[in-house]
Amino acid sequence: MSWESSAEYYKLINEFTKERLSGWHSSKCLIYSFDFAEIEKLQNENEWVKLNGIMIDAARKLEAGGAECILICTNTMHKTAEEIQAAISIPLIHIADATGEEIKTKGLKTVGLLGTKYTMEENFYKGRLSEQFGLKVIIPDKPDREVIHNVIYDELCLGKISQVSKEKFKNIIAKLEKEGAQGIVLGCTEITLLIKQDDLKIPVFDTTKIHAKAGVEFAFK
């Protein structure tokens, strides 16, 4: 939703396309860019019915423009995924499905999930990972969830990358690892701006990269 992670999606989609086709090739794509301030305000006010309508309207405009599949370039707004899919006739590539498939290829059973408070606390995301992929999903305790949520909105969505926040995230991840997490899902598309695989010893599942790749792979089917 923030342009910070949208730019990363655009970059990755074109990189994966170039890997497939080489040379001067790039991706044919349509982007519906939101004013994130409006989205964040409605999220904070728990206005999910309004958010559903906004997302459905955007998806329909992309379909009318010729899109053959939809990517919601955010984990949190997959809370509206079922409503969107019901309102359009083209496939919606679900970020949790792409991530779950990637986790299963690594043979892991238990993962830690970082994201906004909506993604960590509600069932639309972690429930999908559990029910469809048989995964045990561990989330941080409430104080740590507050830290993660606030860093996402107050820093990462504004393009601020802090070493202090990186260390906080690494400490939170270490706690999850002690609780049995075999890998960590970066369940917010902005977290990849802060945490990389090189920062951790256990596998990191960068949902931005995984989702972008899944979109490109669908396009080449």
Q: Which residues are catalytic?
A: 74, 188
Count Cα atoms within 13 angstroms, Cβ side, for 214.
Answer: 23
CA-based nearest residue to 71, from 48, 105, 94 = 94
Question: What's the Rg (C-alpha) of the chain?
Answer: 17
Q: CA 24 to CA 32: how far, in whole Å?
A: 24
Give me the DSSP letters along 65-95.
TT-SSB--S-SGGGGGHHHHHHH-SSPB--H
Coil, helix or strand at residue 161: coil
